[in-house]
Amino acid sequence: MIADVTAQYAQTEPWILLTEGEQTGVSSIMPQKRNPSGLVRLRAEASNLIGEAGTFALIAHNVEPGMSDYKDFGNPKEYPNVLLRDMAALFAHADAVVRTMIFRPDRALDEVNSDYSTTTELADTLQREADVPFRIGHHFASELVNFGRGHHLRASQIPYPEAQRIYAEIAAISKVETKLPLSEEQFRRSLTAENMVTASKGLGGPQPSEVARMLTAAKDRLDADRAWLDTTRAKLAAAAQAARSGFCSLRESK
């Protein structure tokens, strides 16, 4: 029944689209359909890369002393180059696919609000702001979901008096204060997707401040890697030049 109700109120309009072009293709049988061919190829390339990595690990295992000659089965010295080449191609393809995506935040938000994805935050809010044990808040949130789905309501449409009644019943069973310790404004806010994001405080969370911190840290690491790469390339170029100069000097001395 829950699945039926969810399906009945689910939106069919996508919230992430691929721009028509080289990353999409027309269906061979349905003229109106556009296939996400870029994503399909991306997954296949990732699978190939995993397979190549496994092949390299198995072939490299054959170089132990006393083992039979492995050259007939492929040269493991070449596999790192193959892996790096295919990995670079995979990242380039992934970048191309992502750049064709159109994200529709209004549809994404509506998708979240169409069901009860945020009810865990209701239990967390009760624990955080009213010191209600999580097991009680979880029981209350679960019964609230049953009521809402049973009456074909979104979370935002559940009448506050019904929420108070359901909480009182749960609290009575648990032998605690039966008054819902959240005002209607707090109750409504706790069920919003925006609140679930901003209320998160842990490392690696989705809150804007943490996302900004992680992006800055990732950029710093990328800048450090680029600096190392530039320095290493310069050292290699200098070493190659020194080797050429040494070779020329040795040749001329003879």
- Of the candidates 145, 143, 139, which has an alpha carbon nearest to the alpha carbon of residue 126? 139
User: With contact defined as beta carbons under 8 Å apart, do 180 and 167 qualify?
Assistant: yes
CB 20 within 8 A of CB 5: no
Six token digits for residue 153: 């309501």
Residue 134: what pLDDT?
92
pLDDT at 64: 58
Residue 3: what pLDDT? 39
pLDDT at 78: 63
Residues 221-249 pLDDT 10s: 999 999 999 999 999 999 999 999 988 88
| Average pLDDT of the residues in 19-34 | 72
DSSP string for 18-77: EPSSTT-EE-SS-TT-EE-HHHHHHHHHHHHHHHHHHHHHHHHGGGSTTPPP-GGG--TT
The pLDDT of residue 6: 41
Of all residues in the chain, the percent with pLDDT exceeding 90 is 43
- Tell me, what's the pLDDT at 32? 61
Q: Which residue has the higher pLDDT, 250 or 147?
A: 147
- Answer yes or no: are the C-beta atoms of 97 and 38 closer than 8 Å: yes
Q: Is pLDDT of 69 > 70? A: no
Q: Which two tokens stand for residue 241?
A: 């030049």
Closest CA to 141 of 163, 109, 161: 163
Q: What is the pLDDT of residues 103-158, one digit of tens each?
A: 888 888 888 888 888 898 999 999 999 999 999 999 999 999 999 999 999 999 99
Please say whether the dihedral angle defined by the alpha carbons of residues 71, 77, 81 and 84, taken in this order, is positive or negative: positive
**b vs e for 42-70, b when ≥16 Cβ sit within 10 Å of the residue's Cβ?**
beebeeebeebeebbeebeeeeeeeeeee
Spatial neighbors of 67 by CB under 8 A, at least 6 apart, are none
Count other C-beta atoms under 10 Å from residue 20's C-beta: 11
Q: In the structure, what pLDDT confidence band is assigned to residue 4 with cuts at 50, 70 and 90?
A: very low
